Structures are given as structure tokens and as C-alpha cells.
Structure 1
């Protein structure tokens, strides 16, 4: 079908679903179907709506349709030595741009450059009435008032059907080097916080099993100077690329086995938080601000522990027998939930889009 025919067909389906209050499951390649609460509704496959709409390397902005494969977009950027700065995980080769933005998940570089939402400049979407709405634009300084386009990042498709998204991109670093250090978790947290207060080109960090890995990215002279300043053992470039990709895509051995009644938890904490003395395997990223924890500890204990440390916890990957009724995402306070409900009502009054994906009654 032609693009106009696709949009007309989707609008008709959405209006019919709204009239019947019948849920629709907005889905690209399905590489992140495991993320979030239960899946409900008829699948609305976005992959037919694909392709780069506009790309100006000089302006560092690209606009693409929701069903565009991430690999296709990244290859086009690489031809001009540019990249998606937040290093979105694919979790499968068929992953789409729309799915990456809707999930809002970022890779190892996030602590340095920002999250997916920080690079969303504009969005074209279809609401629950089948109407096409446009927010933001294709330049950096284009937002006045409420920045609706960034709301789509991390919404898991619950606000509407994303059609196109404009994203700010960045040049690939001229040089990179990965260093590793033998040290315990407490020393790793302290060292990372010490380095973060200095002008060092650190673009990623990770600690597990007594080893701290740090990636340096930037001008060749800056990387060489930083290597001399912080020391450590230089990791082979191929091995380093494999390591950071393994963390981003969760193909690293740390993530390979989640016992049936356990879960992989993602804890967002202040970076200065020392390693938590709790049972299970732990891995730290983002200068200590992101903690991965595989445990069968009950959800209440995990969430209380995270809250006491000044953060929150998300069930990222549940085991086969894990009880999802505890809620994947941290329950919101009444005022915040009121705001969420108001937004949902404005964009999707019949609650047809990805019903229950974020919260069971949302």
C-alpha cells in the first residue's frame, strides 16, 4: 500500500476500535514484547510504514517513519560518520525506530549524552480519533509550551500511534578506548564519582565481578591524555566493542540466566550509592546510577531498598514464573497518576492503545 493508503487504513481501524472500545496492540517487530505489563488487543503492525523522510547531516537531524528498521537508520547515519547518541538497544535485528522511541531505553552512552527523549525534536502521531497530530519540528529550537513530542519516549505506545519522529544525531567519536581495572564495587563507585567531576571523556562505565570497565570517547588527543591520567589496562578494540554491545543488547553472560521465579530488576539510583548488600548478582552502569540485579527477593523489599537509597526499581525481565501482578513499573503517586490519566484521556479517550502495558488500569 502507498503511504496515504496506510494512514487512511490505520485511521479507519482506530476509529472503529474507539467506537467499540476495543484495544489495539501497536507493534513493530515485537523485539520488546517482554517489556512492560501484559499485552492486549489486535496487533497493529507498524512495519509497513518505513523509510527515512529527511536527513540533513549538516544539521544533525534525521526524520524517519515509525516502522523503519534501526539497522537501516544507523547504516544511513554511519555513512556520514554520525550516530544515534543514546545507543538504543535492538534486542533483535528487526527492531524498529518507533519501538525504540516508545520503549525509551538507552544504552551505555546514556549517562554522558542523555536519554532517548532528550534527542526527540518532533513527532507526528495518530490519536484515538484517527486524527494526525504534529508536535515539535525538525530543528533543535522549536518548542514552545508543553513538549508533547518527548512524551512519546517511554510511553510504550499508550498515547497514540507514532507515525514519524525527528531526532537529533551526533558525530561518531574520532577515537575510543576501553580500560579495565581490578577493584571492588565500593571502590568502583567512589572512583567513578571522582572521575565524573573531572574533564575526562568518559562515555560509558560498567562494573561486575570485581572488574570495572571504562570507555573513553572523543578527540584522539583527549582520549590519549585521559588514558594517561586514569591508568588501567587497555582492552583490545574488538573485545571492547563486543563487551559494550553485550551490555546494550543484554547478550552478555550476566543476563543469560534468569531463574524462573526471579527477575532482572533495573534500579535507578543516585550515582554515589554504594553497592547494595542484597542477595543475587549485580552489575553497575552509568557511573553507578543504573544497577542491574537478578534476584528472587520479593518486589516490596526491592522497591523499598531502592526508595531508601533515593531511587526506584523496575522489573525489566521477569522469569517464567515471576508474578507480574506486583507491577512492572514503580506505582505512581496519586498526583502523578492523575496527570498520566489526563494525558491518556486527551489522546486516547477510549483507552484502545496498548491497554495495560504501562499500568494494569491505564
Structure 2
């Protein structure tokens, strides 16, 4: 039975896609628009997924939940929390109205990412309307791969450029029995050195951030392991709400000012001399940077350590995502041509060539 919180609107979505194909009309896929600031602007007819919503199935004993793309992420999280479970990748919302489809399309993960995995790692299966006007199912509700590309996981982080996601099945996990956040005073170099060492040891760290003066850690697991780690590391108590504020970019660091960049760098990368104010996340693998420096300067610095940089300030530059090498761009274009031959889905959202 359909209610206002559980509506299968897939037929209407399929009809809109097929009309767009018939008329060669580009489509701007959106849910709540909470992540519209990421990527390039898209000119097209709006395709709103929010009418297609609801939890399709959820079996806490199987650790799998299936939801329609327009389902509010907050609703899915509340359903899991009521059963003592969670999405371990901690996807940020940036809005109370953020949707499950937008979560997968953006593929963004929170502070627990290095220890639990990304959004992509928890996608088991999807239903997708392709650029051939077909409503297809990929994967399933168990952890398995399919021949060729794992299309369900390719959709994570594709920003709607490969097809219209209508439904997703996700692996979930129990909430840790104990969670404790602590803060230790130390400089950036010492923090990165300690994190590199601790990463080789059985410490129950599930988040690590350095704000320039202090290293903030989250310890999660059994009572004994968390208590033991706290006794060993010491530190002052930290408000656990810090991690949600970091994840949702609500810390003072993220206040409007200089352009915001996200640098993804290899684990164990040391101190980087970056032109601006920086915040270290993901135990050093993610560096947030506020800087007026030229985009190529920032990206060149990221490349020197084997990383890349994404601009989070909308409209600042034409290519917010770091341009792809020629060979990789060719693969992206071939995949786009296979799944969206007319190029109607979010054209140019990630790269002008797509």
C-alpha cells in the first residue's frame, strides 16, 4: 500500500526519460539539491526523484536495507538507528532533505571512511533507468559481483551521469557498543607521525582529525578495547558531536571565506606546505584547504604526492573535479556512450567532455 512516505513513482520517471530520449532533451537529475554545489552546472529539464520514495525492504538480521532513490537519507538513518544499525561510511547530508539517491550519486563518505570503507563498498545492488529507456536491475541483496563492470558500484560517485538511479540495496552494520571521543594537544607533524604508527596497531580508532593545534580521535568497539586504548593514549574528553559537525562542514573552519578545496592524498603522506589554512581528516588521507591560490598551483601540489584536488566552491573554476588523464578520460567516455548513448543524463556535470 502506498502512503506519502512510500510511493513507487518509477513509471513516471521512466516515461520522462523516454520523452527526453525521443526529443533529445538533456535532463538535470536532482533530489533535494543538497550537493548541487559540487561539479559543473547542468542545463537541462529537471527530473526530480523525491516523489519516488520509501523503504522497500529491511531485514536487520541480514544487515541489508533497500530504499528508493527519493527516500530522505534522514528517514533511512532513523530506520536503521531504531534497530541499532547504521551506514558505516557516514555519508554527509548537507541538508535535512538529502536523499538516498543523492548520497549514492555523490559517493561522499564521512570520518569513518578509512576504517570502514566508502559508500561504494556498501552498495549491493541497484535499479537504474538507462539511456536506452529501460528500467534495469544490477547486483542484488547479497555481496557479489557480476560479469564485466560492477555497474551498481560504478554509479556511486557518478553524479547521475551514467543513468537514473531509482533504487539501491545497501549493506549495513551494527552500531558499535561503545564510542568515545578524545582530544590530544600536538602539532601537525607529530600527529601525522603518530597516526602512521597507530595505523599498524590494533587500536579501535574510527576517526582522526587534526585542526592545526589538536588531534581529535574517535574510539569505537567493545568496552574493553575502547577503555584500553583510552588508557594508553590519554587525552581530554571531546564532544562526540564534533564528528557530525566535521562531516556536515559546520565547523568554524568551513565558514564562508576563502575558496574550499578537498585534497585526497595517499595514506601516510607527511606534512604538506599548502598555501592557506588546512584541516587534516581521514587520518591524513584527506586534507581540507581554504585558499585563494590558483587552481593549478593547488593541483600541482596534490599531484606531487600522488593525490588530486577537488574544488568545493561552486562556480569558481570550470573544472571543479581534477581533469582526467587522456587514457582514463577515454574509458569514461566509452562507458558513458554504452549507458547513455544520447548523453541526456546530467551532461557535463563532472567533466565538459561527458
TM range (shorter): over 0.9
Give 1:323's aligned residue: 316
Equivalent residue pairs, number: 351
Which of 330, 334, 342 is residue 338 of structure 1 equivalent to? 330
Write the distance in 1 (CA, Å) between the matches of 2:73 and 2:95: 10
User: Which string of whole-angstrom CA distances, capped at 9 and with x for unpartnered residues, describes residues 2-55 of structure 1?
Assistant: 799832322222122123321101100111111111122111110000001111
What secondary structure, in the 3-state scheme, does the structure 1 residue paired with 2:97 have? Answer: coil
Q: What is the Cα deviation at residue 146 of structure 1?
A: 2.3
Aligned pairs (5 A) from 1:239-278: 239-240=239-240, 242-259=241-258, 263-278=259-274
Mapped pair 1:50 → 2:46: no
TM-score when scaled to structure 2?
0.96
The residue aligned with 1:355 is 347
Q: Does 1:23 align with 2:31?
A: no
SS of residue paired to 1:217: strand
Provide the alpha-carbon RMSD of the alignment: 1.6
Distance 1:28 1:323 in 2: 23
Equivalent of 1:303, from 299, 306, 312?
Answer: 299
Aligned match of 2:216: 213
Of 270, 273, 280, 1:284 maps to 280
Distance 1:4 1:212 in 2: 45
1:158-169 equivalent positions in 2, closer than 5 A:
158-169=161-172
Which residue of 1 is the match for residue 308 of structure 2?
Answer: 312
Q: Quote the Cα distance in structure 2 between the aligned partners of 1:211 and 1:5.
A: 48
CA distance in 1, matches of 2:146, 2:353: 31
Per the alignment, in what secondary structure is the counterpart of residue 31 of structure 1?
A: coil
Please give the alpha-carbon distance, in whole angstroms, between the structure 1 residues aligned to 2:159 and 2:81.
27
Unpaired runs of 5+ residues, structure 1, are none
User: C-alpha displacement at 1:338, in angstroms?
Assistant: 1.2
Q: Which of residues 7, 11, 14 in structure 1 aligns to 2:14?
A: 11
Query: Contact 2:7/2:52 (CA < 8 Å) preserved in 1?
Result: no
Question: Unpaired segments of 5 or more residues in structure 2?
Answer: none
After superposition, what is the alpha-carbon deviation per residue over 1:249-273, rounded to whole angstroms, capped at 9, x for unaligned?
A: 00111101223xxx21111112222
The change in CA–CA distance for 1:5 and 1:98 in structure 2 (over 3 A counts) is closer
Partner of 2:268: helix, strand, or coil? coil
